[in-house]
């Protein structure tokens, strides 16, 4: 089993807590959080094929924190994804469940849902207080790696996954802080959950993706829906190289465009 690939979110400042709305399609688990609703109003939703393809290739290959060296292969789950929330904050567990349902509603070929026990899950989300973040990272990855992560990333939340020799993800761990406000929690939850599914490489060169440390969204934006739908299309397989992906990407993108437009009620 390989060493884990790791990424993280340096989140924006916390905002006041506000109750969440139910998930709808199109939807964001945002309720009336001003920082999220304002971003939704100004969100860019129309992209060229090259803009989508470039972002996909930059996030789906490589890794932000290279514990096991650079890996230029597609990594993804090839089995249903089940998520368990490990923690004492029931309000955050409810928010996380809505985030998972929102992702499920917007990614066509991804079977993702909550699990009732950690034994039934292949994604475990550890909910911790901010003061317990680094001790938790050390418990997961060891003291030495925790020091490296703190020095190079200084995260407010973190995710990582293990893959097999076929580059299929077998297990993911996500660490989220629960006491930094709703915006930070949702921003972290979306990015880290999505990156735990495969697109783990953060990039500062794509301005529309949450996988950019300069971008905080707090919801599942249209651009990142394109990335996840491309990744989980059955024609994009775990272990594919960049050249192999580029050969099928134009055809995949045609179908992904239809889905993303439909699920977000976007004009043709």
Which CATH number covers residue 84?
Answer: 3.40.390.10
| Sheet of 123-128, strands arranged across | 5-9, 157-163, 169-177, 123-128, 81-86, 112-114
What is the C-alpha separation between 53 and 231, in angstroms, rounded? 11
Give the pLDDT of residue 103.
Answer: 98
Which of 119, 95, 112 lies closest to 177, judged by CA?
A: 95
Residue 161 lies in a domain: yes
Residue 127 lies in a domain: yes
What is the C-alpha separation between 258 and 196, in angstroms, rounded? 25
Tokens of 26: 């199109």
Residue 54 lies in a domain: yes
Number of domains making up the chain: 1
Residue 234 lies in a domain: yes
Residue 225 lies in a domain: yes
Angle, helices 242-263 vs 49-60, to 10°: value is 120
Give the pLDDT of residue 152.
Answer: 65
Output the CA–CA distances (angstroms, integers) from residue 111 to 107, 210, 236, in the order listed: 9, 22, 16
Residues 76 and 197: beta-carbon distance below 8 Å? yes
Residue 18 lies in a domain: no
Output the CA–CA distances (angstroms, integers) from residue 89 to 64, 127, 209, in the order listed: 29, 8, 29
Over the chain (268 residues), the average pLDDT of each successive run of 10 is: 47 30 40 84 94 93 55 92 96 96 98 97 95 87 81 76 94 93 93 93 81 86 97 97 96 98 89
Tokens of 258: 């239809």
Residue 259 lies in a domain: yes
Residue 27 lies in a domain: no
Give the pLDDT of residue 173.
Answer: 93
**Domain enclosing residue 104, as ranges:** 5-9+48-263
């Amino acid at each position: 089993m390989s060493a884990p690939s790791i990424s993280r979110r340096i989140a924006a400042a916390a905002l006041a807590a506000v109750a969440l709305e139910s998930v709808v399609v199109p939807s964001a688990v945002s309720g009336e959080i001003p920082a999220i609703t304002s971003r939704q109003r100004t969100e860019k939703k129309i992209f060229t094929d090259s803009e989508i393809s470039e972002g996909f290739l930059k996030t789906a290959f490589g890794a932000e924190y290279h514990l096991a060296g650079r890996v230029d292969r597609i990594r993804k789950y090839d089995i249903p994804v089940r998520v368990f929330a490990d923690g004492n904050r029931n309000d955050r567990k409810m928010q996380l469940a809505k985030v998972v349902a929102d992702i499920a509603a917007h990614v066509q070929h991804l079977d993702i849902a909550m699990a009732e026990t950690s034994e039934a899950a292949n994604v475990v989300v550890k909910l911790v207080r901010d003061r317990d973040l680094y001790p938790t990272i050390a418990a997961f990855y060891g003291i030495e790696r925790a020091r490296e992560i703190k020095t190079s990333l200084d995260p407010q939340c973190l995710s990582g996954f293990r893959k097999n020799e076929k580059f299929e993800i077998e297990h993911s761990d996500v660490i989220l802080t629960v006491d930094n406000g709703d915006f930070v929690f949702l921003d972290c939850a979306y990015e880290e959950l999505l990156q735990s599914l495969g697109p783990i490489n953060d990039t500062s060169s794509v301005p529309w993706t949450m996988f950019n440390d300069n971008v905080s969204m707090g919801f599942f934006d249209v651009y990142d829906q394109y990335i996840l739908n491309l990744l989980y299309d059955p024609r994009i397989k775990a272990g594919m190289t960049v050249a192999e992906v580029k050969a099928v990407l134009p055809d995949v993108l045609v179908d992904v465009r239809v889905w993303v437009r439909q699920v977000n009620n976007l004009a043709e």
